[in-house]
Amino acid sequence: MAWRYLIVFLLLPLQHFAQQSTNRTVNARAELARKEIVLGDQIFLTVNVSAPPGTEVFPISPEQIAEAEGLEVIQAEQLRVVAENPERLLEQRFTITSFDTGYVSVPPLAVFFEGANGVRDTTFTTDLRLTVRGAVVSDEEDIMPIKPIIEEPRNLLDYWWVFAILAVVAIFFGVREYRCRQTREAPPPPPPPPPHEVALGQLDVLEGERLWQSGQTDAYYVRLTRILRTYLEARFGIPALEMTTRQIVTALDTRQGLNREQRSELSELLQLSDLVKFAKATPAEDLHPQGLQRVREFVVETKPTPAPDNQEVNETSTYKEPS
């Protein structure tokens, strides 16, 4: 007898589990809020779905309801979950109406789902019938006259033609201005500054940088001779930047307006710079400012002098004679 009681005791949890088991099938039910409406009234069509846990239920397409003759879907809500345990309960609601009097049939709606095992299937709701009645008029006196047309207030869109005209006018003037600018000759560029002004400005900058005072003697003489060579090339038309010191001195011998003392000073300065750059010589400190002053004086002495009547003169033939 004891083993019989033991078997009954072991089967009690199974009986309780069987009572708590969920539905193993998917069921769908459609319900109308009212079975009878007046023409044009709006009512809710609710679809309730019960499914085992883990089942994925897909929303019902409103096109299924719209396919029914005489029915119109005003609004379709999203499929929402009402409960998850002990089974899944879902609900989707539609707002429908009808403008056809008589009996309107709501066809069975297909509910697509995918089980926990990955198998897809379909279940259907039952069909429904909706009665649509026309508006009841008890007496002809109750019929109101036709109301006049209500005019909407005007807004900016009512004057779209004004904006269109303004846009066309703006495009016309814009295109014309663009064409005028294309054909209009560009003003000539301003004349470049004369070589002596450029050289004097560069000498002032070099003097302010104080290169040789900070131990950069090589850089100081490289900059100084480059300023001088650039001035000679722009002022006298000789390619001084590409020439050696001897070639520059030889080329200056053929230029009128330069005396022997000026050529000698330039030759000494260029030779001193070559010694610093290539032979790593270290000149005396008093020669550094003297070299810059010599170049400045040479530029001032050889700059062109304007004609008395302010007319352009040939720069290669008119010089200010040194004092």
Amino acid occupying residue 13: P
Let me know if residue 149 belongs to a domain.
no
Q: Are residues 201 and 288 in the same domain?
A: yes
User: Whole-angstrom Cα distance, residue 203 to residue 188?
Assistant: 30
Let me know if residue 157 belongs to a domain.
no
Query: Helices in 102-259 by DSSP H: which ranges?
Result: 160-183, 195-209, 217-236, 245-253
Residue 189: pLDDT band (50, 70, 90) is confident
User: Whole-angstrom Cα distance, residue 143 to residue 140?
Assistant: 6
Q: What is the pLDDT of residues 54-78, one digit of tens each?
A: 999 999 999 998 888 889 999 999 9
Q: 274 lies in which domain range?
A: 195-302
In what order do the strands lie in the sheet containing 102-106? Answer: 36-38, 128-133, 102-106
DSSP-derived pairing of the beta strands 110-114 and 56-57: antiparallel
Q: Are residues 98 and 202 in the same domain?
A: no
Let me know if residue 256 belongs to a domain.
yes
Nearest to 61 by CA among 138, 147, 122, 130: 122
Q: For the chain, what is the domain count?
A: 2
- Residue 200's CATH number: 1.20.120
Does position 22 have pLDDT exceeding 80, yes or no? no
Let me know if residue 152 belongs to a domain.
no
Let me know if residue 1 belongs to a domain.
no
Let me know if residue 67 belongs to a domain.
yes
Mean pLDDT, the chain, integer = 80
Across the strands, what pairs with 74? none
Between 282 and 28, the higher pLDDT residue: 28
Amino acid occupying residue 161: W
Classify each residue of 243-259 as buried b or exposed e, where b means 16 or more C-beta atoms within 10 Å of its C-beta.
bebeebbebbeebebbe
- Per the structure block, which two tokens stand in for 190? 């301003």
pTM of the model: 0.39
